[in-house]
Amino acid sequence: MKKALIIGVSGQDGAYLADILLKKGYQVFGASRDADLAGFRGLKALGIYDKVSLHSMSLIDFRSVMQTILQIQPDEIYNMAGQSSVGLSFLQPVETLESISIGTLNILEVLRFHKLNTKFYNACSSECFGDTDGSAANEETPFKPRSPYAVAKSTAFWLVANYREAYNLFACSGILFNHESPLRPKRFVTKKIIETACRISQGEKLTLKLGNTQIKRDWGWAPEFTDAMFRILQQPYPTDFVIATGKNISLEEFVEISFKTLGLNYKDYLEHDENLNRPTDISVSLGDPSKAKRILGWEAKYKVENVIEMMIQSELSKN
């Protein structure tokens, strides 16, 4: 039985990945900064909380990382931990940079120093590309990060690439574009939109306050994207992949579709709040997943309209 360690198992992607690995017969271990205090809402929602062996581990503490990895001796490590909000990274730049870049470096150093044959997946982000003038970004597109979060993810990406080349580690990065699900925390804008629209449809008197709604994003379905993570580590050679749907829409269109699905006119409820604008932001984000399709056999089946519908159905089923 193969063993997999998911670092950041308490998040959306960690929960869906754990579900996939369990179904494939893996023994799954999950690491969180404080396993006794973390809610593990995602694992519980998927009904797999009792099937994952949970450990407390601080990514920025090298000793903690080393002890956990050496105790488990995993065949595969998936790292998706660290401060994950672009907006919050402007308020907490140091914590963002340390948790993502230093955390990744600590894992790589353990694998290098102890000469482990563990395969390593690093969760990178489309935010690293910055603005690409509307062009679809692929694995050769230069990074132009526009937030502390994107700077941190870019740093982690190049650390992985360097250790792969310098020490022959099986270390890969998945450069994932936006991917959503009902497991998204409320601070993510997609969850905020869906939840507000559903509450309005049920008679609550609310308004939806958003910043810049003209930004465009490539939105996909999180369970599909975590399947791509697994496929990346099953390849004979380590390399990096862009994971995306290849289609984008504006945030305002996302709002319009969400409200229209519930029989509402979004213009009656949307308010623009300049305080929610970020200091810098990406105008248009779009991914080119052709390499993933060619090599991994992976292609997004669900488009943003499907994602919105599934998130709404899940939200309404709570009541």
CA distance 282 to 115: 40
Residue type, 214: Q
Q: Is 98 known to be catalytic?
A: no
Q: Which of 149, 154, 195, 252 is catalytic?
A: 149
Q: Which of 58, 84, 125, 258 is catalytic?
A: 125
Which structure tokens are listed for 192? 């905020």
Q: Which of 32, 84, 127, 147 is catalytic?
A: 127
Q: Is 224 known to be catalytic?
A: no
Given a contact cutoff of 8 angstroms between Cβ atoms, the answer to whether 66 and 73 are in contact is no
CA distance 175 to 241: 6
Q: Is 58 known to be catalytic?
A: no
Residue type, 215: I
Catalytic residues: 125, 127, 149
